[in-house]
Structure 1
Amino acid sequence: MTFKELNISEPILKALANKKYKNPTPIQEKAIPPALDGSDLLGIAQTGTGKTAAFAIPIIQQLNRLHFNERRREVKVLVLTPTRELAIQIGESFGDYSRYTDLRHAVIFGGVNQRPQVDKLKRGIDILVATPGRLLDLINQKYISLDSIRHFVLDEADRMLDMGFIHDIKRLLPMLPKQKQTLFFSATMPLAISNLSRSILNNPVIVKIIPGSSVADRIEQHLYYVERQKKSHLLVSLLKQEQTKSVLIFSRTKHGADKIARILKRNGIDCEAIHGNKSQGARQRVLTNFKSGRTRVIVATDIAARGIDIANLEMVINFDLPDVAETYVHRIGRTGRAGQRGTALTFCSQDEQMMIRNIQRLTGKKLNRILV
C-alpha cells in the first residue's frame, strides 16, 4: 500500500516525497484511515514504528480542509508528550508534513526560558506540542487557552505514568472541550493507563502493532549464559574489549541501572544511567552527551530508552532479560538502524532461560551462544 492509496492529500504527499517516504508503516496503514474519518484511536505501539506520522498526517489533513472562517489562529491541536526530546521530534515532524500548508505549530517544554515560547504563541499557532509541566504553567499565566481544541493526542502514555505525569494529565483533561478527536498512544497497557484510556476515549478504533522478527534479522545477536553474580565482571570485560563503540545497556530496574553504572565507573568505564527517577534536565543531558559522543556508554530502563533515537548506535547489551519477548526485539532494534550494522549481546542467568526460548520462538532465530 502507498500513502496515495490512504487518500492523503496532495500537499502532504508532496512533503512525504521530499522526505523520500514512499510506503506507510503498519501502524500508519492501520491508523491513518480511521483518524482521517475523525474516530478516536487507541494505538499500542513501540517507539520507532512510525506513530508520529500516524497521528500528524491525518490531523494536518483535517485542519487544512477547514473553511476560511474556521481558520483563525488559535490552538486547535494539542499533542502531549513526556519529554523535551520527544516534543522536539514531534514538532519537527509536524513541520515536515505541513510544509506545503499555511499551518503553524509551536513546541513548549520546561527547563528553558519561556519567553521565546510565549512570543511564538502570541503570534498565533494551530498546533501545540507540549510537555505537561510547562503547558500547565503557561495555561495558569493565561498565555494558552484550550477552548478551541479539535484534536488531542496523548503520546507515550505509559511513560507519562513512569515519570509521574498522570496527575498533571488529569488536571488538564477537564480543560479540554468535550467534543474533540482523541488519539491515545502507549507501548504497554498497565492498569492505570488502561483505565485512563477508557475514561477519555469514545468508542475508539484499536490499533496494536507488535514488533516482529524483521528487526532482529538485521542485527548480529550473541548469547552469553552467565551466573547472575558474574554478569558485572563479564560486562566490564566486554566493554574494555569494545572501547570505540557506542553501547546502550538495558537493566530491568531503575536501581539496577544505577548499580551497573557505579560498577562500570569503578572499573574506569565512563558511563551514565537514565531512568524515570532522573529529572528531565538530567535525562536530556545524558542523551545529548550520548548523541554527541561525549559519553560512550549509557545504562537505561526500557521506559527511559524510548527517548533514544540514534542512527549509528553500534551495540546493545541486555544485562537483564525483559519480561516479554517483544521487548527484546524492541531493545535490539535500537541498533542496526538506517542501513548500519548492529550487534546485540544478551546475558542470561539460569532463572532467565525460559525467556530465551520465548525470544527464539518469536524471532524464529536461534541466538548465537558464546561460551564464557
Structure 2
Amino acid sequence: MTAFEEFGVLPELGKAIEEMDWTLPTDVQAEAIPLILGGGDVLMAAETGSGKTGAFCLPILQIVWETLKDIQEGKTSKVIAQTSSEWTMSFFDRTDALAVTPDGLRCQSRDQQAWHGCRATKGVHTKGNYYYEATVTDEGLCRVGWSTQAARLDLGTDRLGFGFGGTGKKSNAKQFDDYGTAFGKNDVIGCLLSLTNGEIRYTKNGEDLGVAFKLDQSRRLDCYFPAVVLKNAEMSFNFGAQPFKHSPPKDYIAICQAPKEFVKHNVVAAGAAADNKPVNNAPQAIIIEPSRELAEQTCTQITKFKKYLENPTVRELLVVGGVNVKDQINQLSAGIDIVVGTPGRLEDLIQGGYLALTHCRFFVLDEADGLLKAGYGELIERLHRQIPKITSDGRRLQMVVCSATLHAFEVKKMAEKLMHFPTWVDLKGEDAVPETVHHVVVMVDPQKDRQWETLRRHVQTDGVHAKDNIRSGNTTPETLSEAVKILKGEYCIRAIREHNMDRAIIFCRTKLDCDNLERYFKSFGKEFPCVCLHGDRKPAERKSNLEQFKQAKVKFLICTDVAARGIDISGLPFSEFFIFN
C-alpha cells in the first residue's frame, strides 16, 4: 500500500503516482484529499509548488471514475423525467419558487418579494423568424421574452436576456426603457425573434410594438429560449401546438415549427430529466485556470494520474484559446468527463450550447486570485448559477478553490458567496513566507548611481516620460523616475552575475516591461539567453518559449505574474521580481 492509498486514494492512482516519484503526500495533499473524497467544499491556501494540483486532481479523478463505474454496473438512481418532446417550459431550468404545471404551459410564482424565472425546454439558433404567445392569467408583475442558456433566470438583468415587462418597459442588462404600453391580466403578448434580421420585437393583443432589441452580429449565432420571470404572477404559453389568439406577422412561424437543424434542447432540462447516464457534452468536473499554460499543465497531470484507471476510461479535455474550436466541439460531442480550461473559451462553448453544465459534480477554481484579478469574477458567478446544486442522482455540487494568496479580500468574498460551508486547508497564513524562500531587496538610487546617464541612449523604457525634459544633472521627479527604470535592467544583470545564476524566472509588472527587458538582455549577445512569456504573445510562441525554458535551452524566462502563475518547473533556484513603478 502506497502512502497515498492510506488517505483513501485508489491503488490504480497510487501506482501512477509512484511512477511519477511522488513518494509521500505533501502537507496540502494530506489534508485536502480526504476532505474532497468525503464530499466537502475545500479552500486551499499554499505556496506555488506545494502540490495543490495533485491535491484536487487526484480525488476528483477518483470520484469521476467511481461514478462512471457505478453507471456501467447499473447502480444509478432515477429522477422524474420531463419526457414530452413538445415545446414546454422546463420543470428543471427554473428557480425554486416558480411552479410549472404538468403540461409545461403555465408558470406561477406567489413570492411577493422576489422575482423567479424559467426557460423553455427548447431554443432556436442560426437563422429563421419565430413567434410564441404568452398570456397574463393572473395579476402581478411579469416579464417575458428570450434568453440564452447562459443568461440569468431573472430575465433582462444581464446582456444575454431580453424581456418586455408589464410596466411597459423593455429590459436588457438591467437597462429598463419605455416600450409599448403596460399590460396586465388577460393581455396576450406575442414574442418575436428574427435571427435572420437580428432583432427582437413584441406584440400586445395583436398590435406590433416595433423593434425592441437589435442583436449584435456576435450574438446572432447564440441559441435563444422562450423565457419568463414573475413576481406574484402567473402566465400561460402557446408555442404553436394550439391556434394562436393573434396570427404572427408575415414571414414568422410558430416556434414549434422551427426546422430540427435550428433547434437545440435545453441542456439543463434534458440533463436533469434523464437517468443518471452520461451526456456526452456534460462533464462531471469543470476546472478553470487563469492561463493557457497552467491549464495545459493541469490537464497533463490528469492524463498521467489516470494511466491505470481502466474500464471505464475517464476522458479529459483541454479547452483553451489558440486551438481550433471545431476540434474541441467534436471531442465534446464524442464524450468528455473532465474539462480543464481558461475562462474565455469555456464561456464561448457554454453560450453556444456545445458544453453543458447539467452533470457537473465539481467546480474548481485554480489560482482563484489570478482569475479575479483578470476580471473573471462575474463569469465565475454566472457559471456557478447555471450548475445544478444537486445532481440528477442526488449528489451535491462540490466546489474547490485554490490560491497562493487565498487571504485576498476578493477571494474570501467570493468563497462566502458561492461555497457551501467550506473547510480551510491553510498552510500559508495571512503573511507566512516559506522558510526556504530568501528575500533580497536592492534599492535603486539614480542620484548616487549615475550610470543611467550613459545607459539611457540604448535602454528602452515604457515611454511615460518621453515628452518630459529628461537630461543629465536634472533632479526633477520625472528625470529620477525615468532613471530608475533605466537602471533596473542593469541591476538585474548585476544580480545574475553576482550570484552566478544559471537559471531564473524574472517577473515584470507589465507586458511592455517584459518586452523591454528581453530586448535589453539580447543586447548582450549570447550571454543571457532568454524567452518571454505574457498574454500578448501568440499561443504557439508562449508554448514554445515555456518548453525551451523547462528543457534548459535558455537560461531566463521573462514574464508577467499572471502568465507564469502556478507553472511547475523543477530545480529552479532563483526568481526575480523586476518591478517598474
**What are the equivalent positions in structure 2 for 1:1-80 lying under 5 Å apart?**
2-66=3-67, 67-68=70-71, 69=74, 70=276, 72=278, 73=280, 74-80=282-288
Check 1:64–1:306 CA distance in 2 against 1; reply closer, same or farther (3 A cut): same
Matched with 1:348 is none
Could you list the per-position Cα deviations for residues 255-280 of structure 1 after superposition, in whole angstroms to 9, with x for gaps in the alignment? 765665565456665655545x6467
CA distance in 1, matches of 2:352, 2:554: 38
Q: Which has the higher helix share?
A: 1
Could you list the per-position Cα deviations for residues 40-70 of structure 1 after superposition, in whole angstroms to 9, with x for gaps in the alignment? 1111122211111111121122223332244
CA distance in 2, matches of 1:267, 1:17: 44
Whether contact under 8 Å (1:149, 1:176) holds in the other structure is yes
C-alpha displacement of 1:194: 1.7
1:120 is aligned, of 331, 349, 354, to: 331
Say which structure, 1 or 2, has more relative contact order (CA 8 Å, 6+ apart). Answer: 1
- TM (norm. structure 1) is 0.73
Could you list the per-position Cα deviations for residues 335-357 of structure 1 after superposition, in whole angstroms to 9, with x for gaps in the alignment? xxxxxxxxxxxxxxxxxxxxxxx
C-alpha displacement of 1:71: 5.5
Q: Secondary structure at the match of 1:65?
A: helix
Q: Provide the aligned C-alpha RMSD in A.
A: 3.2
C-alpha displacement of 1:130: 1.4
Q: Secondary structure at the match of 1:125?
A: coil
The amino acid that maps onto 1:197 is A
Check 1:10–1:309 CA distance in 2 against 1; reply closer, same or farther (3 A cut): closer
C-alpha displacement of 1:213: 4.6
CA distance in 2, matches of 1:94, 1:236: 38
Structure 2 portions without partners, runs of 5+: 75-275, 391-396, 450-486
* Structure with larger Rg: 2
C-alpha displacement of 1:21: 2.1
CA distance in 2, matches of 1:238, 1:10: 47
C-alpha displacement of 1:195: 1.2
Residue 167 (structure 1) aligned with residue 378 (structure 2): yes
Whether contact under 8 Å (1:83, 1:280) holds in the other structure is no
CA distance in 2, matches of 1:136, 1:5: 38
CA distance in 2, matches of 1:29, 1:105: 25
Matched with 2:506 is 249
Structure 1 portions without partners, runs of 5+: 322-372
Q: Secondary structure at the match of 2:436?
A: helix
Matched with 1:332 is none
CA distance in 1, matches of 2:365, 2:538: 18
Q: Which has the higher strand share?
A: 2
Moved more, 287-296 or 150-159: 287-296
C-alpha displacement of 1:302: 4.1
**What are the equivalent positions in structure 2 for 1:156-305 lying under 5 Å apart?**
156-179=367-390, 180-188=397-405, 189-210=407-428, 213=434, 215-216=436-437, 226-229=443-446, 232=488, 233-239=490-496, 245-251=502-508, 260-261=517-518, 263-264=520-521, 271=530, 274=533, 278=536, 281=539, 284=543, 286-291=545-550, 295-305=554-564
CA distance in 2, matches of 1:290, 1:16: 25
Residue 93 (structure 1) aligned with residue 301 (structure 2): yes
Could you list the per-position Cα deviations for residues 308-327 of structure 1 after superposition, in whole angstroms to 9, with x for gaps in the alignment? 33335454335569xxxxxx
C-alpha displacement of 1:305: 3.2
Matched with 2:567 is 308
Residue 136 (structure 1) aligned with residue 347 (structure 2): yes
CA distance in 1, matches of 2:370, 2:442: 31
Check 1:186–1:293 CA distance in 2 against 1; reply closer, same or farther (3 A cut): same
Whether contact under 8 Å (2:297, 2:567) holds in the other structure is no
User: Quick one: percent identity of the two aligned structures?
Assistant: 32
CA distance in 2, matches of 1:100, 1:293: 31
Q: Secondary structure at the match of 1:306?
A: coil
Could you list the per-position Cα deviations for residues 6-25 of structure 1 after superposition, in whole angstroms to 9, with x for gaps in the alignment? 12222222222232322110
CA distance in 2, matches of 1:94, 1:310: 17
C-alpha displacement of 1:111: 1.3
